[in-house]
Amino acid sequence: MDLQWIFQTSTSKISKLIVSEQKRLEIIVPIPGTILDAGRSMTHKDIVIDLHLRGYPVQQIARMTFHSPRAVDSYIDTFEAVLILHLYRIPPPLMARVLGKGISLIKEHLEIARGHFPDEEHMKRLLAWKEVRA
């Protein structure tokens, strides 16, 4: 909101610019939406999962996003658990219960998955590839 006053423009325009730059530079701007994973801004999980799916190793993702490797692993593990449960046709409310996560978080992960995978076959390939590497 401070930027809105400084630049005399709408919060919507400021938000769009921040999201655009985060994507372009692959960074996280420390604002409430990203630090607290609040609101509809691009969040840590979006960036971490995107980098993971593009093949970056955990250590590098941690450096790029200013997170600990443990936090990066947590984002990735939750995302992959949601993918697995989705492939077994587990409904989101049950996923939330099984994983001990909120339903909104589960839905966010499912939305991220839809943005990265055209179909379930691609999801299966990612998970099978991870299994081979383990």
C-alpha pair distances (Å), 98 with each of 92, 121, 132: 10, 24, 25
Q: What is the mean pLDDT of the chain?
A: 84
Q: Tell me the three state secondary structure of residue 122.
A: helix
Q: What is the pLDDT of residue 88?
A: 94
pLDDT tops 50 at residue 58: yes
- Alpha-carbon Rg for the chain, nearest whole angstrom, is 16
pLDDT tops 90 at residue 29: no
Q: Which pLDDT tens digit goes with each residue over 95-134?
A: 999 999 999 999 999 999 999 998 888 888 878 876 655 5
Alpha helices in the chain (DSSP H): 2-7, 11-25, 32-35, 44-53, 58-65, 69-87, 92-99, 103-116, 120-133
Q: Which pLDDT tens digit goes with each residue over 69-103?
A: 999 999 999 999 999 999 999 999 999 999 999 99
